[in-house]
Structures are given as structure tokens and as C-alpha cells.
Amino acid sequence: MHIEELIIDGFKSYATRTSIPGWDPSFNAITGLNGSGKSNVLDAICFVLGITNWSQVRASNIQDLIYKRGQAGVTKATVTVVFDNNDPKQCPVGFESFKQITVTRQILVGGRSKFLVNGHSMQQNVVQNLFQSVQLNINNPHFLIMQGRITKVLNMKPPEVLAMIEEAAGTRMFEERKEKALKTIAKKDKKVAEITQLLAEEIVPKLDKLRGEKRAYLEFQKTQTEIERLSRIVVSYDYTRYEQRYSKARDDYETKMALTTQTSEDIQQLQLAISNIGRDIESITTNRLKEMTLGGKFQTLDATVKDLSKDLVKVKTQRDLKGKEEKEEEHNRASLTKSQKETEKSKQEKLTEFEKLKVTYNDLKREYDKQQEQVRMNEELIQTLSTGLAAEEGHENGYMEQLQRVKATVAQETTLVEQSKLKLKHLDVDLAEKRKQAAAAQRSNKGLSEALEAAKHQVRQYEDALRRQTFDPEKERALLIEKASQAEAMAKISEQIEFMSRKLSRLDFQYYNPTPNFDRSAVKGLVAELFTVPPVHSHAATALEICAGGRLYQVVVDNEVVGSQLLKNGKLRKRVTIIPLNKIQAFRAHAQKIATAQQLAPGKVDLALTLIGFDQHLETAMAYIFGNTLICADAATAKKVTFHQDVRMKSVTLEGDVYDPSGTLQGGSKASGDGILTSLQEMHGLKYKLANHRQRLQELDRELASLSKEGRVYAEAKQKLELKTHELRLCEQQLSASEHVQLLEKVEQLEKDLETTKAAIEEGNVRKNDAVRRCQEIEMEMKDFKSNKDGKLQELMKNHARAKANLVKDAPRVKAMQREHQTLELELEQLEKDVRMATQELSESDTLIASLKSDRDHLHADIKTLETALEKAQAEFEREKAQLSAYDEELKDLEALAKVKAEALADNRLELQNIAHETDRLAKEKQGMLKTIKELEEEHDWIVDQRHLFGQSGGLYDFATQNPSESRKKLKQLDEKHSSMKNKVNPKVMTMLESQEKRETSLKQMLATVQRDKTKIEDTIVTLDNYKYETLERTYTKVNGDFGAIFGDLLPGNDAKLQLLEGQNITGGLEVKVCLGGVWKSSLTELSGGQRSLIALALILSLLQFKPAPMYILDEVDAALDLSHTQNIGQLLRTRFKGSQFIVVSLKEGMFNNANVLFKARFREGISIVERTAQNQSRTSKGSSSTSGRRVEAGKENEAPSSSSSHAGAKRIKLQPGTSLGDGQIHSGQDDARIGGVVLEIKSKWYRQMIAMMSSTRRKGGVGVRPHSRLKL
């Protein structure tokens, strides 16, 4: 098995697909310049063989194997090796039938990898086993000697040398398998511990638990059997009882049907009597109507009375409304008057406050403006004095400007003062004249002024008197409004109660006292009126009504004596059933049944008695009606609790469906409208509200009566105040229009102007004096500035800073006062508007009050007229009505008789209805019993076959010996026990126990198997250890002999051997000993580098010769040897190793000249290419070929005639300038040169001379082209 062809694509430096065919089956050499890619060919072969140690192929990770790490567009690396498999001795196991084996390995960017063998995908371990079967173990290779391996061999320790012998002997793989076996034993031991622990901690405890559960399960089955036996006894007993109840219900049903026939006949007779009475009433009514309509006077009087009554009510209503409006308007006017006075008072207060604030604000603002102006002037002055320039264009500089301004101020203030003095003289003259005129006018209007003062004095007195009154008109108005509201609410509630009373007419129970001094408290009333349904249980009203049924209309009394008296002498209008409290026997359900029902449906079941409210002394009657019925939320709950064997109570759903334990069911569609109880509860609520309103109305009447006297006194005082206020207003209007008042106003205005002018003169003089003083100060400052300019400037700046700081400090206070001033001014304006509006509203209110009084007086007169007319019309109407009383009496008697007959008819119908209900109940009970019997027969198919045995003495169903009650109790106990056991018993315990027992048996068998396998593995290891020792001894003897022989061939006259360590056998290790010149060296350090390399190479070749592999790969093993030794090694490989394929990478001619096929690697344009040359034609039958990638290089395959015999067999190629070549052999001809086996055609004379010179120099032994040198053409 040897390589025929190698195809590389994207692997390392081979970017494109490169096919290298024509491999010699014996000796192949690869040469090329450093970095040309020759070692990458070996890496490609190792890559296919399945290498996993990337450092052996000079890569840090699998990504480095792809061309330029996948950065140049190449994303995968693929290497294919085609092996010749014609030699049956070297065929891999399982591939004997294949003449050729193609193995491909491919990796992609990202690390994905795959193997293909003859086009089929294989796992990596399968491919490795394929090569290991022919001694090609790439992960521990003895056939692969890479660069540096020779040096490593020389540095090996004895155990490492022994490892090489073991690899050659094939026992190394045994050691690996032994280690795996020991690891397997460790795993087996761990598994044994796990199985033992599993048995002890899980399986055995679980088996014990399951066996306990098995015992419980058997007990559970026994309980089930006993329950089935007792169930048959109980069911047979119930079946017998149901048959008896069915017979009884059938008999009762037939009796009720006969009673129904009799009652129906009574109803027909009553209906006939009522019909006759109706005809008599109709006849009398017709005669009465004729009498009434004979003259038409009765209808006219009736219509007149009705019309007058309506008109009177209408006019009274209008009068009351007018009076109400008048009171409201008077109250409104009082409020307006009070509001006007308060507003006027607020206005005066605000005005006073505003005037004070105005003065303060003006002073503060003036001072602030003065400071601000002073600061501005100081800034300009400082700027002018500092720079010599004016602060503003058109102004004088410095002190002169200030001086001019102050002088101008002095002149201006002087002018203003003079003008004010002239104005003052004119005002004095005018004021004196006006005062004279006012005095004269005052004498003429003295009477009007005195009247005004008197009116003001009286108004103040009336106001004081009104304030002293305790009467509050607002309170009276509120009470009147509330009274009207209460009266209206009472009217609405009364209408609702009347409507509800008609709706609940069946609850109208009336009677006469049967005996004198009869105690009516002994009659409690109808049942429906004796209990209440709390709001929280209002949803159950329908169910409670169905539960009570006809008993709602029964009458409750204290004792049977009272009941008897009512029936005999109470003149009852209808038939009633009476419940005497001292005789009635109430039945209340057992608490255990109720608790069981509530447990079956939590929150959905209640006893009817617990849902109602009643007085304690009525508990017996209520328990009689509601004490044995359950109220359920829905049908499912009712069905569950009604027919449960521990409950069996009558149930009513919230929808009104009735479930009876006898098997009957009543219900269906729900009646439209509210039920009796709901309506009754509603009427009770209305009566309660009506009582509250009536009580409040009485309280209001008492409060209004207490306020009536105070109200009259208050009204009189108020009326006097209003009249006197009106007089005062008229006097003020007259006085304001008089000449005297106008003159007084002018005098007042002149006095104000006079004071203002005097103040202006004083202020002007002050400002003038300040300006004069400021002029003097400025002149003094100008003198000081001239004498001390810097000091004065500094002083000015300090003063300016101080003034500016004061200005900043005062600014917030000025702004705050300005805002306060503006606010007061706005408030004052609003108050003036409010005063004007209040005055206008008062005037409008006076007009409206006068109009309302006039309207009320007119309406009062109309009422008197209508009352007189109504009294007259009613008197005449009553006289006419008395004439028709005879007809009315007769009609009254007939109607009373008809009412009695109707009540009797209603009672019979009610009785018929009750009988019908009872008949239906019995029919349903009968059907229910029959249905229950059928259901029992269907549910228990054994009943039909064994019912003839039910109750037989001495039998299985002997109810005398097999007590059904005891059996039922015991069955209940067993059911409870069964239920509790059911949740605890594991029904799958038998299966689980069987499964766990099988699992225990399986684990124990597995444990025995594991222990047996461990013993076998240990025995096998001992046997193989002995075999390994024997094999190592044989291998050592053979390799030691070949080692000495090969070393003698490489270095004639010398010897070498492998020696055991002193005092140890071969397993202790081996060391290398060398004999040079007849002397055995004690250490290899005494040898030269070349001798050490020969020893290592001889050892490796001896190992290779012991057990030849199909293929050997040597990478520059001759690097440290001279040419003669290299030649010897080449001949040795060619002569001593027959039947194996050698692939040698070398740069020395002595080595690769012995090869049959030579491959030359070159690196061009970043890509490696390989050329093949066939040598030693006598030893190979294959011609030469050259392939590079996917194309043939220009000039290849064109054989050119050689001008020298030394060029025979070489290829001629044309090289472009700049092409790099390197080789150790250069031969020149006339027009070409040869480097190795490649002929270069020389086109340039200068190049030919250079080649000739280089070749001549090398032949003469001088300095020429060294190996590995580069020649650029």
C-alpha cells in the first residue's frame, strides 16, 4: 500500500487545486527553497492520516491549515491521497477487495471537519483504525521523522528509548489498551459502588415500603367487599320502603281526586249565585242612573262643585306661591342691604388704607428715584473724571454738567413756587366768596337738614331694634322649604303604599272583636307579616316564598282559645288557617344534617330559618314553617344535598325549584314580577320611610309654631325700618339736589385745592433749598477735586458703591410696596362697582316686593269669593244626593252579598288549588317513588333477581337480624374508612412491587456480571503483560543487531548497541552505547554533532527495519550531515529497505539523487507549486510529468534538444526576469543553464556570462553559488 497521487486544495500555501501524481513506490524526494512549501506536502499527507496534534504540522490551531487562515477568499482546505492497494500483504483490514483507496479530509472555516474514504463519509476513529492496521498510527508515529526528531532521539531518556522499542514491537498499543482497560475497571468499580448504594439506599427501602402498601391494599380490598355486602342490605331495605310509600301515595292520590270533583261542583254553584247578584245590581244601577239623569241637575251640581273646588285650590296655590315669592324677595332684599353696607364699609376701610399707603409709597418712591438719579449721576461723574470723556454724547463732562442741572432745577422750582403762590391767592378769594354763599343757602335749607338728621336718627334706632331681635328669617325660610319637601315626599310614598296595598290585597286580614275587652295583641297576624328578610339575604326571597307556600296566609295567635273565638265571632271575611303558638309542634332539622349539607356544598346551602328575622316569641311558628327546608344556590347543589343519604331534606333553589327526598321535583319557569315577600318587604320599607317623614313634619310644625310669634314682631320692626329708610332716601335726594349742598361741595373742593397748593409750595421750597445746597456741595467738590484728584476720585467711587448697595437693598421693598399699592387700587375700584350694583339691585327688589304684595291682595279677594260660591254649591249638591241614598243602600247590600259569595268562591278556588297542589305533589311523589324504584333496579341489577328474598326470615336480607339502621351506620363508617384509605392506598402497588423486585434481581445480576468482567480483564492483563515482555525481548535483540549493523554501514569500522540499565530488566529502560575506534564511549556528549546524528538516524532506521510500514516520511534528516554521509544514507535507504515507500524532504544532492522520483517545490505569486522529475530511469517505469495547480506553466512539457549530453532528460522552460531559483548544482551551456534537472534557456549575453562564471567558480572549488542561494533572472 503506497501513495499514487496527492491532491491539495486550499491547504496552507496551496491556494488552488494542485495535483501531484506519479509517486514512486520505493523512493521519492522533495526539494525546494526555504518557504517554498515542500514540508507542507508532508503536512498534507499527515493531515489525511488523521493527525490531531497540530504542532507536529507547525500550526497552532486548525484554522492555520487553511490558506491565509481563510482571509483570501479560500474558506476550506481539502487534501486527497490515492493509495495503491494491490499488495495483499499490506492491505488494511476490510479493504482487501479494493485495488485503490482514496482518502479525503476536508476542514472549513470555523473548525468543521470530515473524512471521505472512496467517496463515502467516515468517522475519524474509523479512518485512524484503517491506517493503524497497516502500521500507520499518525498520533504515535514511528514511520514519521519530522524536522528536529533526530535531535530529540539523542536527548531521550531510557524509558523513552524503551517506548520506541515498544512502538516497533507493537506493544505500545497494548499499553494504551491496558490503560483503557484499567480505566474501564475503575469505571466498573464505580458502577459496582453505585449499584450497591442504589440497592441499599433506594431499592431495598422502596421494596419495604411497597410491601407495607401491599398489606394496606389488601385491607382496602377487604373493606370494599364488606361495603358491597352492607350496601345490598341497605339498598334492599330502601327498595322495600319505597314500594310501601308508593302504595300509600297511590291511595292518597285517589282520595284527593274525589275531593277535587266535589270542590269543583261547589265552585260552579257559587259562580251561578254571583252571576244572579250581578244582574240585580245592574238593574238597580240602571234605575238609579235614570233617576239621576231625569233632570240632569245632579250632574250639573256635581260638575259645579268640582270646578269650584279646582279653581279654589288653584287660586290658593297662586296666593301661597306669591306669598312665598314675597318672603323670599324680602329675605333677598335684607341680604342685599346687609351686603351693600358691608361693601360700603369695606370700601371706606380700603380707601383709608389706600390713602395711607399712597402717601408712604409716594415718599418711598420719591426717595428711591432720588437715590437712583444720584447713583446715575455718580456713575457719569466717575466715568467722566476717570476717562475725561462724557458718558453720553451731547453732555458736559463731570462736575460742570451736574452743576448746570442743579442750577436748572433751582430755576424751575423757583418758577413753580411763584406760580403756586399766585394760585393760592385766587383760591383764598374764591373760598371766602363761596363760604358766604353757602352760609346763606344753609339758612334757607335749615328745615330740610333737620328733617334729614331726624330721619337718620330714627333709622339708626330701628336698625338697633331689628338687630336685637332673636328671630332668624333664614332659618324660617329653610324650615318652610323643608316642610314642603317633606309633604311632597309623604304624598309620593302614600301613593306607592296604596298601590302596594292593592297588590297585596290577600294580606288584608280584618276581624271584629269576638268578645268585649278583647286583647287584640293575642292575634299576631298573618305569617307573611311576622318576619323580615334581611337585605343580605334578599336574593333568597323567592325561595323562602316557595318554601312557606300557603302558610304565608295563615294567622298566628297566642293559643287555641283565641283561635276558636276568631273563627266563631270574629266575622272573618274569608276562610283562614290559624296557628296557635301553644299547640303547634315545630320540627327543626338536626344540626348534623345541616352541617353535612354545608360540607357537601360550602357557601351554597343554608337552613331557611336562618335567612329570616323575627321576634323571639314567634320562633315556634317560624320553625314550623321554615325549620326543615334547605335553601340552595343552584339545582346541582339542591340535587346533591336532597338525595344524599346523610341529609335527605327538602330543598328549594334560589330560582324556586323544589327538590323532595321522596323523588319529586317542582319548578319550571319563574313567575314574572316580584314575589309576595319582595313586595311585602318593599311596602314595609315604604311605611318606615313614611313614618320618618311624618315624624319630621311634626317636628317642623312645632319649630315653625315657636318661630311664628317672633316672626310677627320681626316683620313689624322690619316694615318700620323699610318705611323710614325710604323716607331717608327721599330726604337725601331732595337735599342733594339743593343749592346749599352744591355750594358745600364746592367749598369742600376749594379747601382741598388750597391745602394741596400750600403743600406744593412747601415741597417746592424744600426742593429749591436742596438744589441750592447741592450747588454749593458741587462747587466745593470741584475745588477739592482740583487739589486732590486721586483721593477725591477714590472717595467718589466708595460713595458710589455705598449708594448703589443701598439702592439694591431698597429695590425689593419699593417693588413690594408698588405691588401692594396697585392691588389696593384695583380692590378699591372693584368695591366701588359692587356698591353701585348693590344699590341698583335694592331698587329692583323694592319694585318687585310692591308688585308681589299687590298680586297677593287681589288673589286673597278672589279666594273669599270662590269659598262663598263653593259652600253654596255643596249645600245644594248634598240635598240632591240624599234623594238617591235609597238606591245606594240597596246596592250596598247586594255588593256586600256579592263580596261574601266572591270570598267563598275564592276560598273554594284556593282550596281547589291547594287540593290540586296536593294532588300534583302526590302524583309527583308517586312518580318519584316509581322512578326511584326503577333507578334502584337499573343501578343494582341484582334487585330484580333477589327482591323476592327481601325481608324473608333467616335469609341474607332478613331485616330483623340484619338491622338496616345498624348496617347503615356501619356502612357509613366503612365508607369513611374507605374514603380515608382510598387517598392513602396505592392501587398500583402490586405492579410497582413486581417492577421493583424485577429491578432488584436485574441489578444483582448486573453486579455479578460486572464483577465477573473485572476478574476476566485483570486475568487478561496479566497474560498480556507476560506476552509483552517476551515480545520486547525479541524486538530488542533484533533491533539491537540491526542498530549496530546500520551504524557500521554509515560509519565503517565503528559499532553501536542498546544496553539494559544496570541491575534491571528490559522494562526498566534502554540506553545507547557507541564504540568509536574500538573504544566504547560512556557518554554521547563526547561525540560530534554529525556522529550524534548518525547514531540517532541508525537507531531510527533499525526500528523501521524491524517491522516495516508501507510508507516512511523523513523531513530533512540529513540537515546536520556532510555530503558523504548524506550519500551513504541515500544509498542505504535505496538498498536496505525494500517493499516500503520512502518520502524524503532534503536540500542535499547526495540524498535526492538516490531517489527514483524528485519533486521540486517553488513559491510563486504567494502560491506553492510542485514539479516532478523522474530519475534513475532504470529503477522506475514511469515517465516524468509536471503539474502546477490547475494549469501547466508556460513552456512546460516542451522538450528541447540539448547542446550538451548533460542536459539529457531535463525540461526546458522560459523564465521571466525577476524569477527566483535556488539549487546547489548549476551547469552552463552555450545558450542555456541547468539548475538541478531544470534547463534554463538564456536569451541575454550578460546572463550567459554570469552563469558560466558561477559554474566555473564552483568547479574550481572557489566561492560560487551556495546551496539554497537565489538567482534572479
Least-confidence region, from 639-653, 768-782, 882-896: 882-896
- Say how far apart CA 245 and CA 929 lie, in whole Å: 7
pLDDT for the residue 1166: 80
H/E segment holding residue 445? none
Asked if 1107 contacts 1130 with a C-beta cutoff of 8 angstroms, the reply is no
Question: In the predicted model, what is the mean pLDDT of the chain?
Answer: 76
Amino acid at 332: N
Contact by Cβ (8 Å): 1130, 1153: yes
Beta bridge partners of 607: 630
Asked if residue 444 has pLDDT above 70, the reply is: no
Is 148's pLDDT higher than 50?
A: yes
CB 869 within 8 A of CB 304: no
The pLDDT > 70 percentage for the chain reads: 82
63-77 mean pLDDT: 86
Per-residue pLDDT at 1265 exceeds 70? no
Residue 1218 confidence (pLDDT) = 41
pLDDT on residue 101: 93
What is the Cα–Cα distance from 326 to 54, expressed in whole angstroms? 118
836-850 pLDDT, tens digit per residue, is 787 777 777 777 777
Least confident of 784-793, 1001-1010, 1115-1124: 784-793
Query: How does DSSP assign 179-201, residue by residue?
Result: HHHHHHHHHHHHHHHHHHHHIII
Q: Residue 251 and residue 247: Cα distance in Å, rounded?
A: 6
pLDDT at 650 over 80: yes
What strands, in cross-sheet order, belong to the sheet with 1070-1076? 1055-1060, 1070-1076, 1079-1081
Cα 823 from chain centroid? 55
Average pLDDT rounded to a whole number, residues 648-657: 88
Query: With contact defined as beta carbons under 8 Å apart, do 589 and 607 qualify?
Result: yes
Q: What's the residue count for the chain?
A: 1273
- Predicted confidence (pLDDT) per residue in 669-705, tens digit: 555 556 777 787 788 888 888 888 888 888 888 887 7
Question: What is the pLDDT, as a whole number, of residue 1222?
Answer: 41
Strand order in the sheet with 1238-1241: 1211-1213, 1238-1241, 1232-1235, 1226-1228
| pLDDT tier, 1186 (very low <50, low <70, confident <90, very high otherwise) | very low
- For 362-396, what is each residue's pLDDT tens digit? 777 777 777 777 777 777 777 766 665 444 444 44
Taken in order of first residue, the domains within the chain and their CATH numbers are 1-143+1109-1193 (3.40.50.300), 301-445+738-882 (1.10.287), 509-672 (3.30.70.1620), 1198-1273 (no CATH)
**Would you state the pLDDT for residue 989?**
67
Question: Identity (one letter) of the amino acid at 860?
Answer: H
Burial 1047-1061 (b: 16+ CB within 10 A, else e): bebbbeebbbbbebe
Angle separating helix axes 739-787 and 676-736, nearest 10 degrees: 80
172: Cβ–Cβ under 8 A, 6 or more apart, which residues? Answer: 140, 163, 166
Three-state secondary-structure class, residue 244: helix
Q: Which of 14-18, 1000-1004, 1032-1036 has the lowest mean pLDDT?
A: 1000-1004
Q: Note the pLDDT of residue 292.
A: 60
Please give the pLDDT value at position 811.
Answer: 78
| pLDDT-derived band at 336, boundaries 50, 70, 90 | confident
Is the pLDDT reported for residue 1201 higher than 60? no
Residue 207 has pLDDT above 90, yes or no: no
Give the type of residue at 330. E
In this prediction, residues 213-239 reach a mean pLDDT of: 75
Range ranked top by mean pLDDT from 338-342, 461-465, 594-598, 1181-1185: 594-598
For residues 915 and 922, give the distance between their C-alpha atoms in angstroms, rounded to a whole number. 10
- Counting residues of the chain whose pLDDT is more than 90, the rounded percentage is 5
Count CB atoms within 10 A of the CB of residue 269. 13
Q: Cell 293559643 sits at which residue?
A: 559
- Positive or negative, the CA dihedral 416, 418, 424, 429 is negative
Which of 724, 737, 739, 741 minimizes the C-alpha distance to 454? 724
803-822 confidence digits (pLDDT tens): 778 777 777 877 877 777 77
Sheet with 1141-1145, strands from edge to edge, namely: 144-145, 1111-1115, 1141-1145, 27-32, 1157-1164, 1167-1174, 1186-1187
Predicted local confidence at residue 448, as pLDDT: 62
State pLDDT tens for residues 1150-1161. 787 888 899 999
Q: What is residue 96's predicted lDDT score, i.e. its pLDDT?
A: 84
Q: Could you give the 3-state DSSP secondary structure of residue 350?
A: helix
Q: Tens of pLDDT along 1120-1162?
A: 777 777 777 777 777 777 778 889 888 888 787 888 899 999 9
- State how far the Cα of 384 lies from the Cα of 392, in Å rounded to an integer: 10
pLDDT band at 921 (very low <50, low <70, confident <90, very high): confident
CB atoms within 10 A of CB 636: 12
d(CA 28, CA 1146): 10
Residues forming beta bridges with residue 66, ordered by sequence position:
11
Q: In this structure, are residues 102 and 27 in contact, taking their beta carbons and an 8 Å threshold?
A: no
Rg, the chain, Cα only: 70
Residue 124 banded pLDDT, cuts 50, 70, 90: confident
Report pLDDT digits (tens) over 1027-1079: 877 888 888 888 888 888 888 887 888 888 888 888 888 878 888 888 887 88
Are the C-beta atoms of 380 and 401 separated by less than 8 Å? Answer: yes
Top-ranked range on mean pLDDT: pick from 14-18, 212-216, 415-419: 14-18
* Least confident residue range of 169-178, 420-429, 559-568: 169-178
Angle between helix axes 473-503 and 676-736 (nearest 10 degrees) is 160
CA distances from 922 to 242, 255, 815, 1070, 1243 (A): 14, 11, 102, 118, 138
**865-905 tens-digit pLDDT:** 877 887 787 777 766 666 566 566 667 767 777 777 787 77
